[in-house]
Amino acid sequence: MKHKKVRLISRLDIKGPNLIKGIHLEGLRVIGDPQEYAKKYYAQGADELIYIDIVASLYGRSKLPEIVSRTVEEVFVPLTVGGGIRNLDDVTELLRAGADKVAINTAAVQRPQLINEVSRKFGSQCMVLSIEAKKQSNDSWEVYTDSGREKTGIDAIDWAKEGVIQGAGEILLTSIDAEGTRKGFDIELIKSITQAVNIPVIASGGMGEQAHLEDAIELGDADAIAMADILHYERSSIPMIRDAAKKAGINVRDHD
Amino acid sequence: MINKEVTIIDYGVGNLLSVRRGLEYNNASVSVTGDPEQILNSDRLVLPGVGAFANGMNELIKRDFVSLLSEIALKGTPILGICLGMQFLLDKSEEFGSTDGLGLIPGTVQAIPSMAQDGQKLKIPHIGWSNLIKPKEQNISWSGSILEGANESDALYFVHSFMAQPNNPDHLLAGCLYGGNFIPAVIQSENIMGCQFHPEKSGKVGLKMLSNFLEM
């Protein structure tokens, strides 16, 4: 029996002012206004929302603080925000705008000490280490930065462990191979990371149908599931996914 | 027209915007301030907080808010501490040594047990949605409290590594189970109340609790 409820999270990737979606984090397509989608997912009973500005680390300034402060006027569940965060000032700005947690990838790889600084100043619950991983062999994955564009040569399992030592409170784990494919999560990746660390792991990338969620939880031992295009394109909905999870015996939050 | 004036105490830490939006959603007229005069004269106070106990207490001490809050508590002004703000209400915390709290409700802030009842290792911090439960030993009523209208199947959003344990069981209104261990979720001693979860991040159920607070 799992000790806690598995969180069903809507992930909204942002480019400029728009909600977008790609495949393998590339080939981006505009979906619409993130605010409208955030409201919809909140009303449907999403347990959390994640905003990731997927080009911010390339171009610097992002519209995220503005989008976040609009969102929290109408959305009353936790909000994790990432993309282009470089230092404590960026974190402060996003928290002031209404974010509850920040997700950091590129800047943390460049300077792991940043994880420690964020967690010391704002608490580890606020510091989500975002790991984008690409499969190398059967039991090894490489960390990528800049939304899947840059190789690092770093092993994802080692990096997850290092992140915990530095003070990360949670890991957002995105499989670049599975992302946008709708073919299911990279279960081996999820399993390897959840076995390596004792902090919650959010599995992201590949959710194409409700059964995929069961695999990520039962086989991968994920603590939370991030979903994007399955929701954006209405191939399913949070109420349907919640019901399916319940039927499979997974502990999820009740929502009316 | 019911007066729904409320002041969020700003002492330089945390995300105050979300609490503000949650109160405003319930038609409150919200001030966010660190001005002692305004805090003293407010009809209701929210004491928010995230991060480390000693850090937050230092900020309160720096601003002379400790004696101010004791004075306000005696006046009967409703005070709601949220998350770390709830923990401040107790006598002291065991987070990184021992640090004095506000002492408005007798009790101690302790680490969440890291071992489940079945011996499994628990992930700390406790992050996520947990159902409310009533304490077993005594017959506690939720009516007239911030929990008015809430049910034991309602889940709220928790994110914390420490928990506020009141000495007097009568001060414990609700808890949640994490790994089978009982964790205090709502405490109250007359006009002083605290919740460990984030009502402003707990959807409709949490918004209703903020609405209940505004009726006090």
DSSP letter string, chain A: --SSPPEEEEEEEEETTEEEEEETTEEEEEEE-HHHHHHHHHHHT-SEEEEEESSHHHHS--SHHHHHHHHTTT--S-EEEESS--SHHHHHHHHHTT-SEEEESHHHHH-THHHHHHHHHH-GGGEEEEEEEEEEETTEEEEEETTTTEEEEEEHHHHHHHHHHHT-SEEEEEETTTTTT-S---HHHHHHHHHH-SS-EEEES---SHHHHHHHHHTT--SEEEE-HHHHTTSS-HHHHHHHHHHTT-------
Concerning whether B171 is annotated as a catalytic residue, the answer is no
pLDDT > 90 fraction of chain A, expressed in percent and rounded: 77
- Given a contact cutoff of 8 angstroms between Cβ atoms, the answer to whether B88 and B60 are in contact is yes
B123 pLDDT exceeds 60?
yes
B3 pLDDT exceeds 50?
yes
Nearest Cβ partner for A198 among B123, B126, B207: B123
B200 pLDDT exceeds 80?
yes
Residue A26 pLDDT level (bands cut at 50, 70, 90): confident
What average pLDDT does the segment A221-228 reach? 96
B13 pLDDT exceeds 80?
no
User: What token pair was written down for A185?
Assistant: 């999560």
Nearest Cβ partner for B121 among A198, A200, A253: A198
A59 pLDDT exceeds 80?
no
Q: Which of A88-92, A190-194, A196-200, B52-56 has the lowest mean pLDDT?
A: B52-56
Q: Choosing from B83, B126, B171, B195, which is the catalytic residue? A: B83
Sheet (strand B92-93) strand order: B99-100, B92-93, B107-111, B162-166
Residues of A in contact with B123 (CB under 8 A): 4, 198-200, 223
pLDDT of A60: 59
Concerning whether B200 is annotated as a catalytic residue, the answer is yes
What average pLDDT does the segment A4-28 reach? 86
Domains of chain B: 5-214 (3.40.50.880)
What single letter denotes the amino acid at residue A150? Answer: E
Q: Mean pLDDT of all residues in chain A?
A: 92
pLDDT in tens, A146-187: 888 899 999 999 999 999 999 999 999 999 999 888 999 999
ipTM greater than 0.90: no
pLDDT in tens, B159-177: 898 999 999 999 999 999 9
Phi then psi for residue A229, to 5 deg, are: -70, -20
Q: Choosing from A47, A53, A100, A132, which is the catalytic residue? A: A132
pLDDT of A54: 86
B15 pLDDT exceeds 80?
no
pLDDT in tens, A231-251: 999 999 999 999 999 999 999
User: What token pair was written down for A214?
Assistant: 């069961």
User: What token pair was written down for A190?
Assistant: 């999820």
B29 pLDDT exceeds 70?
yes
A2 pLDDT exceeds 60?
no
A3 pLDDT exceeds 70?
no
Domains of chain A: 7-247 (3.20.20.70)
pLDDT of A1: 44
CA-nearest residue to A69 within chain B is B17
| Closest chain A C-alpha to B180 CA, distance in angstroms | 8
pLDDT in tens, A99-158: 999 999 999 999 999 999 999 888 888 999 999 999 998 889 999 998 888 999 999 999
pLDDT of B1: 54
Stretch 83-142 of chain B: residues touching chain A, C-beta under 8 Å: 116, 120-130
Can you say how many angstroms the Cα of residue A91 is from the centroid of all Cα atoms in its chain? 17
Does B129 sit within 8 Å of A5, measured CB to CB? yes
